[in-house]
Structure 1
């Protein structure tokens, strides 16, 4: 994502309904939502789909902020997984039907689902 051609971040190609910007920002928002769900006892569910997808195109600054936020949040998830003091299989205190492990797998699954179209977009838009 860091070497994506900036002039193409808002472009679409036939057969893929979203631009690179929409996919990246969607991935960032969904990942942030998972982190909030895990960590925040006062978590409020986001509205689907409006809170998960951007409504406007991005400029270079917004794109870079989204990328930085995505990777910062990913580091936070990795920290959770690598922290031996955290039982990934224990129920989340404020959401006992869920575990951190489940949320990490959910996020990995979502990222794998959206990474393919993002790579196809990059290839198609680079010509």
Structure 2
């Protein structure tokens, strides 16, 4: 049973950020709203596109785990808004809130000690919840890192940010 507790603890740490990972809330802390539709150089996607991509992908993984009838979006077009699409502050907030709610649902699965994370998912026998949680956490970490770099490129970190201040070490 000790190994199971360690595994769950490490999965939660990976989902929540920390250690070598920035969290969703950290990367968006004090985010200037006038930049939600901004596209840094050499990318067709805005900050909102990245946040919405994170939300859609995490929603899809959660739906896959929970629902035998879940239908994933078409890949790749269904996993992010069209490049020309924009949002407003309400849309930005909806994307952020949706991501946070689904992240909490994934964490609740990890915390539920009655749920065996390693057995095959009944409707997807080649997959297990452990794998899906790792997939979500890995995907989140990757794109959260991209958002961090995009903020650095656009010089929109708040003064004194402990991670990326724009000053060389």
TM-score range, shorter chain: over 0.9
Structure 2 equivalent of residue 33 of structure 1: 60
1:24 Cα offset (Å):
0.3
Q: Does 1:104 align with 2:121?
A: no
Gapped runs of 5+ residues in structure 1? none
| Runs of 4+ displaced beyond 3 Å | none
CA drift of 1:3 comes to 2.5
Per chain length, whose mean CA-contact separation is higher, i.e. which structure has more relative contact order (CA < 8 Å, sep 6+)? 1
CA RMSD across the alignment? 1.3
How many equivalent residue pairs?
Answer: 127
Aligned partner of 1:48 in structure 2 is 75
Query: Alpha-carbon deviation of 1:2?
Result: 4.7
Note the alpha carbon deviations across 1:45-77, whole angstroms, 9 max, x for none: 320111101121110000001101100110000
DSSP-derived class of the 1:96 partner: strand
What SS class does the counterpart of residue 97 from structure 1 fall into? strand
- Paired position in structure 1 for 2:15: none
Give TM-score scaled by structure 1 length. 0.94
Higher CA-based Rg: 2
Partner of 1:18: 45
Structure 2: which 5+ runs fail to align? 1-27, 158-169
Q: Which residue of 2 aligns with 1:61?
A: 90
Cα distance in structure 2, aligned partners of 1:2 and 1:53: 22
With normalisation by structure 2, the TM-score equals 0.71
Query: Does 1:3 pair with 2:25?
Result: no
Deviation at 1:16, TM superposition (A): 3.7
